[in-house]
Chain A
Amino acid sequence: MLSPEDITALWITLRLASVTTAILLLVGTPLAWWLAHSRSAVKPVVDAIVTLPLILPPTVLGFYLLLALGPQGPIGRLVEFAGGQPLAFTFTGLVIGSVVYSFPFVVKPLQDAFANIGTRPLEVAATLRASPIDRFFTVVLPLARPGYLTATVLGFAHTLGEFGVVLMIGGNIPGATQVLSISIYDHVEMLEYGQAHLLSAILLILSFLLLLSVYVLNRRLHILRT
């Protein structure tokens, strides 16, 4: 059975993934919109930066984040200046790290979805008296629904499986920053294979079900529309 620590780790993991995904959807929407429609000269640079977490070793990402968030880092100093506590080794720090780590998994599907919609449906809506905000909620959101579904699930699932970044900036504080993937590592270190099996199976099944839901739902959306 799951130990109380494991249940806490599972809870922290789910909370981390939810908060991270919510933030990413909010921040990712305007950025993905800009990436899908901008012809700016800096767009390739932004594109590259957004995609970077996809290929960078998590430890590299975690190392820089640790420096930035630590008491001597720029973000750490800013937080301290504002009267806050250092972010490294806290849940908030984990959220920041996860947002960076899962960034492309949310922004890219949204960017593709927006690019696929093109500008025509928006022009159509504009000639039918819809203001820009009106157009976003009545045209962009419904047409980009498959993109949002993919972005949400990928962002969530990818954050669930996070290891390297968390290890670097979250440490491994049970009850505060210990997530599932690190608990598994600890169990293996201590040769507690039964526990490791259980937690691994939970992650595996959860991730599979999440991905399955994307494919099933997107297919249903597609069929509904044709």
Chain B
Amino acid sequence: MTSQISAKLELNREAFSLNAELNIPASGITVLFGSSGAGKTTLLRAIAGLEKCSGKVQVADEIWQDETRFLSPHERALGYVFQESSLLEHLSVRGNLEYGYKRVAPGNRLMDFSTAVELLGLSSLLDRSATQLSGGERKRAAIARALLSSPKLLLMDEPLASLDQQHKNELMPFLENLRDQLSVPIIYVSHSPDEVARLADHLVLIEQGKVLATGPANEILTRFDLPLAHDFDASAIIETRPGAYDSQFDLSSLEFDGGSLLVPGKIQATGSSLRVRILARDVSLTLQHQSETSILNIVAARVVEMSPDDSARMLVKLDANGIILLARITRKSGTALKLTPGLAVYAQIKTVALLSP
């Protein structure tokens, strides 16, 4: 169990207390999700050592703090991307990127200077002053700077929160790139279900300074005892592999263990895995396979469990050959179909949102 990140942190303040225990894999993106004021940022700062907490922090085989020691932030091999702009304003973009890079011995460096510059698209901005950048550019510079300090763990505090939609859309592909191309584990604070769907491999729900649940992202998204499955945008995420392209109808096929899905357009297969999001409200259920329908994506599944939603609707959890999906249907339909756990159904999926680039 060496490739784990574990933290057990306690902090008591007048108006707020943190009492969180985390055990997450040392790979991929773990999203700390919760409403504002839940203690996500405090937990992130505590992991970094910016907030003095009692407890233990261990990243792979390195102990950052326990009963007997407390490494200062500069002694922890971490990268931190702050929520607001945090570039050192007396330095150029290059100066900012070099700040952490120069402080790591060449033998211990995670990546070349030019690799980070390229990964975050900063080559044309290097000689600008930190104050001459747009919000999105600053964020990219801050992320590159953090990577160049060769972290064993990258901590990101709502990197998209202070950006407008256009800049969010601009930055998101860079974040997805990080996830797909880097071996550095990332802990990412967010309160946006959309970011969770797009980025999270692993999900930790935080509420009032405590960890409510932790697990693989799709498992947490679809658990009926947790709030995300009852959100208006309740959804399941599925990792798929790009399949054939039908040029006659301009449709691409995405394969996954439960079947295949068709999405419009030709997919530029960038990685081996493409993530799609299927909203519960876009899934309807039938008992027979419908052929005379405009809905293209029909997946055979079994009912796992049902849960009441609002007064008129219910949620149904489906298992399509091991892949979990959610459907939000009316209680009336549920009764008409006589849904019970184990029942074989067909999930008709109206919209498949392709999340990866």
Contacts and interface: CB of A to CB of B under 8 A. Distances in A.
B75 to A, nearest CB: 8
Given A124-B88, A128-B103, 19 more contacts: A120-B82, A121-B86, A123-B50, A125-B74, A127-B78, A127-B80, A128-B74, A128-B145, A128-B149, A129-B74, A130-B103, A132-B74, A138-B99, A143-B88, A143-B89, A143-B90, A145-B90, A225-B89, A225-B131
Nearest to A142: B90
B48 interface: yes
Interface in B117-173: 129, 131, 145-146, 149
Contacts of B131: 225-226
A37 to B, nearest CB: 15
Pairs A-B, 9 closest by C-beta atoms: A128-B100, A127-B80, A129-B103, A126-B73, A142-B90, A126-B74, A124-B86, A128-B149, A128-B99
Contacts of B78: 127
Contact of B129 (A125, A131, A225): A225
Interface of B: 48, 50, 72-74, 78-80, 82, 84, 86, 88-90, 99-100, 103-104, 129, 131, 145-146, 149
A82 B8 CA distance: 55
A21 B103 CA distance: 34
8 contacts: A123-B50, A124-B82, A127-B80, A128-B99, A130-B103, A139-B90, A142-B90, A225-B89
A221 to B, nearest CB: 10
A125 B146 contact: no
Interface string A134-173: 1000110011010000000000000000000000000000
Interface of A: 120-121, 123-132, 134, 138-139, 142-143, 145, 225-226
A124 B50 CA distance: 10
Nearest to B86: A124
B133 to A, nearest CB: 12
Nearest to A139: B88
A127 B89 contact: no
Interface centre among B74, B89, B100, B145 (most CB of A within 10 A): B74
B132 to A, nearest CB: 8
Contacts of A129: 74, 100, 103-104, 149
Contacts of A132: 74
Contacts of A139: 88, 90
Contact of A121 (B48, B74, B79, B88): B88
Contacts of A142: 90
Contacts of B129: 225-226
Contacts of B86: 120-121, 124
A120 B86 CA distance: 7
Given A131-B74, A225-B89, A225-B131, A126 B50 contact: yes
A145 B88 CA distance: 14
A145 B103 CA distance: 23
Nearest to B80: A127
A142 B149 CA distance: 21
A132 B50 CA distance: 13
A121 B131 CA distance: 14
Contacts of A124: 80, 82, 86, 88
Contacts of B89: 121, 143, 225
A127 B103 contact: no
B74 to A, nearest CB: 5
Contact of B73 (A120, A127, A138, A143): A127
B149 A127 contact: yes
Contacts of A134: 74, 103
Given A124-B82, A225-B129, A130 B74 contact: yes
B90 A127 contact: no
Nearest to B91: A142
Contacts of A226: 129, 131
A131 to B, nearest CB: 6
A117 B74 CA distance: 19
A184 to B, nearest CB: 42
A122 to B, nearest CB: 10
Nearest to A123: B50
B128 to A, nearest CB: 12
Contacts of B88: 121, 124-125, 139, 143
